[in-house]
Structure 1
Amino acid sequence: MITALTTFTLPKPITREEARRIFLSTAPKYQGVPGLLRKTYLLSEDGLTAGGVYFWNSKAEAEAVYTPAWRSFVKEKYGTEPSITYFESPVVVDNVAQQIFSDE
């Protein structure tokens, strides 16, 4: 499994409520995406950095989403370029499902 952390610095700070409204407008776009297990939207306390934590089955499935079109969408929506960092996630603890997942 792969965790992708996307971040972008906003041109001006936004409030939690502004972020919530924006995030809810884009959330349906991520439902049913092949390989995406979960996405968590992020907003820094000062409102200047936003992004997401994405949990993927594989890096290939993640890279299939982070296309030039996706980068353009982010730039148009938020006025800034996103950065993406990938992490291996060999074990995930899910307290809601009360399970531990491993990629083996």
Structure 2
Amino acid sequence: MIIAITSFRLPEPITREQARSIFLSTAPTYRGVPGLLKKHYLLSEDGTTAGGVYLWNSKADAQALYTEAWRAFVRGKYRTDPIVTYFDSPVLVDNVAEQVFTDDLQHS
């Protein structure tokens, strides 16, 4: 599994309510994206940085989303360029499902 963290400095701070509205407007875009397991939207406490934490099946799946078209979408929506950082995630603890997952197996 791969975790991608996207972040971008906003040209001016936004409130949590503004962020929620913006995030809800883009959330449908991420439904059904191949290889995307979860996405968490992020907003810094001071409202100056936004982004997301994405859990992917593979880096190839992630890279298929983070194209120049996606970057242009982010620039158009937030007036800033995104940064994407990748992390390998060999183990995931899911307390809701009460399970531990690895890249290749599910463990109880």
Is 1:76 the counterpart of 2:97 in the alignment? no
The answer for the alignment partner of 1:22 in structure 2 is 22
What TM-score results when the alignment is normalised by the length of structure 2?
A: 0.95
Paired residue secondary structure (2:62): helix
C-alpha RMSD of matched pairs (Å): 0.5
TM-aligned CA deviation for residue 90 of structure 1: 0.1
Q: 2-side partners of 1:92 and 1:51: how far apart?
A: 21
Query: How many pairs align?
Result: 104
Higher-Rg member (1/2) = 2
Q: 2-side partners of 1:93 and 1:11: how far apart?
A: 36
TM-aligned CA deviation for residue 26 of structure 1: 0.3
Find runs of 4+ consecutive structure 1 residues off by over 2 angstroms: none
State how 1:1-104 maps to structure 2 within 5 Å: 1-104=1-104
> Which amino acid is 1:6 matched to?
T
Could you report, residue by residue, the CA deviation over 1:51-99 in whole angstroms, capped at 9, with x for unpaired residues? Answer: 0000000000000000000000000000000000000000001111111
Give aligned-pair identity as a percent. 71
Q: 1-side partners of 2:8 and 2:68: how far apart?
A: 15
- Higher mean C-alpha displacement, 94-103 vs 77-86: 94-103
TM-aligned CA deviation for residue 14 of structure 1: 0.1
Q: 1-side partners of 2:32 and 2:99: how far apart?
A: 22
- The runs of 5 or more residues in structure 1 that have no matched partner are none
What TM-score results when the alignment is normalised by the length of structure 1?
A: 0.99
